[in-house]
Structure 1
Amino acid sequence: MLNFIYNIILLLLIPILVPLGYIIAYRKGEDKDYFERIGFIKIDKNIEKSIWIHCASVGEVRSIKTLYSTIKREFPDLSIVISTTTATGKRIAAEELNPDVAILLPIENRWAISYLLDILQCKLFIIVDTEIWPNLINTVHKKIPLILINGRISNRSFKRYKMLQFIFKPLLNKFTKIFTKSPEDTDKFKELLTTEDKLKTLGNIKFLNFSRPEDLGIIPPNKRILVAASTHEGEEELVIDAFLDIIDLDIFDQLVIAPRHLNRIDSVKDLCTKKGLKISTLTKYNSDVDAVIVDRFGSLEYLYSLSLKIFVGGSIVNIGGHNIFEALQFKKVIAVGPHMQNFQEIFTLALKYNVVKVIENKKDLIDYLKSQYQNADFENFFKALEFSSREKLNPIIEEIRDAID
């Protein structure tokens, strides 16, 4: 009954959502493939056997690089289909992974999904991270095995899932297997499903995906910069105060602040100005200012590659931390706060091999900014990550093997 009501609502909304969505896509320059979202997808290849991997956007696409190459190596005759929710995600998938088929997901169009499963000869469907699309899940479940990898439920989402457990429990039960990011996530799924038969804790598969950032050519390579990345309210002030306290030591030429949410740029600008810093934005870069505010997406790895020191936010305030591998891949000891529970696995390894410094206050941050870390063991840190990555992928590979045999 719930599924019937859901689809009636979708049908009523289509006359509004389709043209509105097209206008938005046109304004963003993403109208070329827009109608794939509705289900108008042309497959111009003869696919004999495939698996379909769905990724929400760029982050999820890049997170499966190691998995993708492993599948290609283990099953050279198997075609791989990648769908994304965003146009940028599709472009990155095509450019960086080069799958046999890259498409935009026909959102909640069960007829299009069913048709594609047949024409692509799909044997297994993989959803990356916790993407819950009822029609997608119900349609796939009727035809082929469905697994979830990198499964995670935030504390905020968990409250909503529990309140609507009568909706989410049947959907989650449609998965053949759910591979979670942490024991804490496994416990949350277990509470929702009231069973652990489908669950296995693998850890985060996003790590060990090295990338070569595009040289944006904005900041001179000889500029000595301190990068504060993915910051939240309260963290910028801490970094600014530490930067100002050591400004006379001539360690850094500039502070670069990349707020986690771009809608906070104005407030970060106001804070910098209040503290007496001359500022510019990254898109209008000025070499002579004290601080640069990042006002565009997709710049972090470029900035990490140039930096002398890095602070990754979401960790002083209790957000749970953000991805630190993107910074650590450049073999630079980074600073984070104590709240790294969302990335506990890599954080624990980083502590073990002395490639991360935990700070709790301004004094800690100043000590980090002034110190050299000669005992950082990046070689064994990356070896440990590689071993962990291989171990994690084995159960997924076995699910694929069972599905295609």
Structure 2
Amino acid sequence: MSFLYNIGINFISSGLKCVAPFNHKIKLGVSGRAKTFTLLKNSITSKDKTLWFHCASLGEYEQGLPVFKELRKHYVNHKIVLSFFSPSGFEIRNNSPIADLVVYLPIDTPKNAKQFIDIVNPELTIFVKYDIWPNFLNTLKKKQLKAILISASFRKNQSYFKFYGKKIRKALFAFDHIFTQNEASKALLNSINYKNVTVSGDTRFDRVLSQLEQDNMLDFIEEFKDDKLCIVAGSTWPVGEAFLTDFINSNISNEVKFIVAPHNIKPNQINNLKEKLNTKTVLFSKKENNNLKEAQVFIVDTIGILSKIYSYASIAYVGGALGNTGLHNTLEPAVFGVPIIIGNHHNKFPEAQAMINKGGMFSVSNQKDFTLILNKLIDDSDFRVKSGSKNREYIEENRGAVIQILDYLRI
């Protein structure tokens, strides 16, 4: 492993510890990582057969979940260790039913990697999409332990594909097989002479299709919607919420209902959003004390139910792409066959461009464009239904990644 890489990793580790007292999220990660080896030693013995799943954060967990579920069914006598690097994954999924133990991944030093893998000794390791840690992967390779990468997506400007990336790209060769989302990623791997690669697509399509098999009913949403046309705005940020509040305040009517699920649910920001609305608004946390049918806006100040709420949408808005935060999950509403509005900063999200090209998704950059397309979708039911059906078709066309991965694993 590169000497400079290890110097850098140790520097980052020290830096995180210094910053932790002043940043809640970093503090969670630092304190969580300090407990990892104790948790492992208390939960795993040398006689245990194990699998190891690693995800950077919550999005990668959701991406890998359909594969994880199938492996959980097949390897009933194995203990499964699920690791996260980010607190936004660990803190939400630390009780995941697909794992026997959920931990923070230690910082990628040679010592940590050896200790972690000596304890876990996984029969199979699965990394999702990225978060490729060289010391962990090279240790797996040295011990001849099987590892695969699923739903991988690469870009030519990454260090693996640069002249100076020889040492760091060695980590990729620790994977016995890599399943990519697209042909471009396969071509990049081939360019560095990595050949054990299959274009399987994105497991997220299989993941969202599984949502249709679940019970998505929420009685309080049923009561609020009251069989009216319903616009669901998911994972919103202030710039998108400004478009929404302007539209809602200009169209006060019980004939159209709005559900807003902000990305940030801190009380002060939720209250700030509510105060800007000039119509009857109910919070999820206060729903028991209100007549939901009389409200026009329902603000979701909790997490974990947005995917179900999308099943009630006639139209969806997905946040993130109007600012610099990155577009949030558009596949979750798309699977329910609803048209989707997003912001204009979506270049790094090929699924968004694909749905725009098909005519099921609409990109806006200002209040005027937002209002125009939203009014058209509200007023023209044929246009609304046809647009939404194109999104559902797109999801169906791209399913099947999980089957290819399980076939490789002979499950």
TM-score if structure 2 supplies the norm length? 0.69
CA 1:384 to 1:313, structure 2 compared with 1: closer, same or farther past 3 Å? closer
Q: Deviations over 1:301-348 (max 9, x none)?
A: 36535545312245688998542232245x351323597675656986
Say whether the 8 Å CA contact 1:25–1:34 is kept in structure 2: no
Q: Give the % identical residues.
A: 21
Say whether the 8 Å CA contact 2:205–2:331 is kept in structure 1: yes
Give the 5 Å matches for 1:374-393: 389-390=399-400, 392-393=401-402
Give the 5 Å matches for 1:119-138: 119-138=119-138
CA 1:116 to 1:165, structure 2 compared with 1: closer, same or farther past 3 Å? closer
Match of residue 49 from structure 2:
49
Q: Deviations over 1:232-282 (max 9, x none)?
A: 78755655555456x156432446363x6789x97x969x95xx8579895
Give the 5 Å matches for 1:110-189: 110-143=110-143, 144-153=145-154, 158=158, 162=162, 165-166=165-166, 168-187=168-187, 189=188
Comparing 227-236 and 173-182, the one that deviates more: 227-236
- Determine whether 1:363 maps to 2:396: no
Residue 123 of structure 1 aligns with an amino acid whose one-letter code is E
Cα offset for 1:99?
A: 1.8
Q: Deviations over 1:150-207 (max 9, x none)?
A: 112468x7489759645543333433322222234434x348x533513322211023
Residue 5 of structure 1 aligns with an amino acid whose one-letter code is L
- Determine whether 1:4 maps to 2:3: yes
One of 205, 208, 214 as aligned partner of 1:207: 205
Over the residues paired in the alignment, what is the CA RMSD in angstroms?
Answer: 5.1
Structure 2 residue ranges without an equivalent (≥5): none
Query: Matched residues in 1 for 2:281 and 2:155: separation?
Result: 35
Give the 5 Å matches for 1:5-404: 5-11=4-10, 17-18=16-17, 21=20, 33-37=32-36, 41-46=40-45, 47-87=47-87, 89-90=89-90, 92-93=92-93, 95-143=95-143, 144-153=145-154, 158=158, 162=162, 165-166=165-166, 168-187=168-187, 189-190=188-189, 193-195=191-193, 197-209=195-207, 210=211, 221-222=224-225, 226-230=231-235, 239=244, 242-243=247-248, 247=251, 250-254=254-258, 256=260, 258=262, 298=304, 300-301=306-307, 303-305=309-311, 307-313=313-319, 321-329=327-335, 331=336, 333-337=338-342, 344=350, 356-358=360-362, 361=369, 362-372=371-381, 389-390=399-400, 392-401=401-410
Query: Matched residues in 2 for 1:243 and 1:101: separation?
Result: 45
Say whether the 8 Å CA contact 2:261–2:301 is kept in structure 1: no
Residues matched between the structures, number: 389
Provide the secondary structure at the position in 1 that maps to 2:232: strand
Say whether the 8 Å CA contact 1:61–1:92 is kept in structure 2: no
